[in-house]
A and B are shown apart, each in its own frame.
Chain A
């Protein structure tokens, strides 16, 4: 293809990079603004909003609450998702397509519908809105992502690995624990991080299934409804840095792990 097209396309790419980064950068900048008034230009700078955020017991406990929810729901999603992936990958049986379809269903249901379906179901089961309900909804919603990631990895495990383990005296469970599971570690770690971020960032399910205690996105939403302030920027910036750092670290880590185990 000619040079002109190439240059043009590279400009489009970098413009897209700007498009996805600039709003976030602006948001971070405003968090340092020495004025209650949101907007530009910024004439003087301050750390005051951050010291405020870190002194705010409610914000801190919300952070902790969100992290706990993310960790618990991820633990459930990973166990269930891996189990389903092991059942579905490389096995042919009657009804497999139906089970696969049902497995990915929660990922395809639009957010609001998913949230109210969970809410109605939780009510039917007698689960009160609150942490338990949120953990449950996040866990169910995130299972499909774990299944897809783990299945993709599992499909690259040579069948002979399991056969060799069986041949050397391992029963199916031991072969799974000693051969399959170590092989899946990069995928499971990657999927876990993804689930952690999905849960930590989720608004709509946390909003409809939450009790009086808000998760971080719900808190930001509530504060936004009562008006914008640089304090919100500071909270959002902390959340942003946390998620981005975890995401980048996970990306690099799982990539390295994959390389190592593949040799």
Chain B
């Protein structure tokens, strides 16, 4: 994705550790004020990218431009970039106020300004009551906020967040996700967030970059990634999905016509259109399958038998076997009342062209 006047421009970054390739020729632009998330399994290169941006590692090849200036070889202390560490890395021998003031001191601010600025940021993050406490005396959530405050205090151009929610328990995490997003909006700072948690990425980001084996799998908004995954990896990594493997029958202006176990289906075409006869995989999200009593007039419609149901509270997971195709199975999420009403009799399932993404590869 290219952006006009980007804040960060990553050009052809590669990095290997011995024989292991962490990053391969990465190109990326990040716009001002974006909440960008790097998502991927461990070892996919997302943390390496973050550490290269922070200045903790040097790329083997390529350049990093920050505000148009080449910072590739600058040490961390000379970059206008701050980081929230995974373990927060709060200085244990300093109070909350001293931790927050650390970066300001080194910018050469005078005492009064440091105090004013620290107060400002502490009241912004509701840390005032803990100003004179040591990190050991804080809860996990409070520590996380102190780490954020410390990184925001020097007013960085770019804020890096290295899985900062990993150490929090599940309940607190949801709350902190909302907070973080709202802080990002109110400060209008550029956040560069790294996580392996797809839910976290979907909740907070303006833009998600999915990485695997040192390469970008897909780059887009959360909705794009969820409903139109570009690759099998993305489709499987984010959410749950039905993967349908078949052959291309033909290509329309806006859809790919495919054959799946003898059924003709129409799906959303990927960037590079496939050719007739190619083997192909399509992804359809579980909740996008609609249940009907009669044949619906959606572009895709199948008759199927219910072979299993799992109660999940407000909704149900339903296992389906397509009536006229041997071994063709699908899984669907339906509202619980719909799920309860279906019985042994075959049902019609229908979905739009746009709901089914034909995958690249």
Indicate if B345 sits at the interface (CB-CB under 8 A). Answer: no
In the complex, what residue of chain B is closest to A168 when comparing beta carbons? B103
In the complex, which residues of chain A have a beta carbon less than 8 angstroms from the beta carbon of B137? 263
- Contact residues, B146-199 vs A (CB, 8 A): 150-151, 154
Indicate if B75 sits at the interface (CB-CB under 8 A). Answer: yes
A163 touches B89 (CB 8 A): yes
A166 touches B91 (CB 8 A): no
B76 touches A166 (CB 8 A): yes
B92 touches A262 (CB 8 A): yes
- Contact residues, B66-93 vs A (CB, 8 A): 75-77, 81-83, 85-87, 89-93
A165 touches B134 (CB 8 A): no
Give, as a whole number of angstroms, the nearest-CB distance from B241 to chain A.
36
Give, as a whole number of angstroms, the nearest-CB distance from B99 to chain A.
9
- Give the complex CA separation of A160 and B93 in angstroms: 15
Partner of B54, one of A161, A165, A167: A167
Give, as a whole number of angstroms, the nearest-CB distance from A221 to chain B.
45
Indicate if A4 sits at the interface (CB-CB under 8 A). Answer: no
In the complex, which residues of chain B have a beta carbon less than 8 angstroms from the beta carbon of A182? 93
- Give the complex CA separation of A165 and B85 in angstroms: 11
Indicate if A11 sits at the interface (CB-CB under 8 A). Answer: no
A169 touches B134 (CB 8 A): no
Indicate if A179 sits at the interface (CB-CB under 8 A). Answer: yes
In the complex, what residue of chain A is closest to B137 when comparing beta carbons? A263
Q: How large is the interface on A (under 10, 10 to 19, 20 to 34, 35 or more residues)?
A: 20 to 34
In the complex, which residues of chain A have a beta carbon less than 8 angstroms from the beta carbon of B151? 167-168
Give, as a whole number of angstroms, the nearest-CB distance from A231 to chain B.
48
Partner of B135, one of A160, A163, A263: A263
Cβ contacts A224-263/B at 8 Å (1 or 0 each): 0000000000000000000000000000000000000111
B82 touches A179 (CB 8 A): no
B86 touches A160 (CB 8 A): yes
- Give the complex CA separation of A79 and B103 in angstroms: 28
Give, as a whole number of angstroms, the nearest-CB distance from B183 to chain A.
19
B76 touches A163 (CB 8 A): yes
Indicate if A171 sits at the interface (CB-CB under 8 A). Answer: yes
B91 touches A171 (CB 8 A): no
A261 touches B89 (CB 8 A): no
In the complex, what residue of chain A is closest to B54 when comparing beta carbons? A167
**Which residues of A are interface residues toward B (Cβ below 8 A)?**
158, 160-161, 163-171, 174, 178-179, 182-183, 261-263
Additional A-B contact list (18), CB under 8 Å, known A163-B56, A167-B55, A168-B102: A160-B85, A161-B89, A163-B85, A163-B89, A164-B83, A166-B75, A167-B54, A167-B76, A167-B81, A167-B83, A168-B150, A168-B151, A169-B77, A169-B154, A183-B93, A263-B92, A263-B136, A263-B137
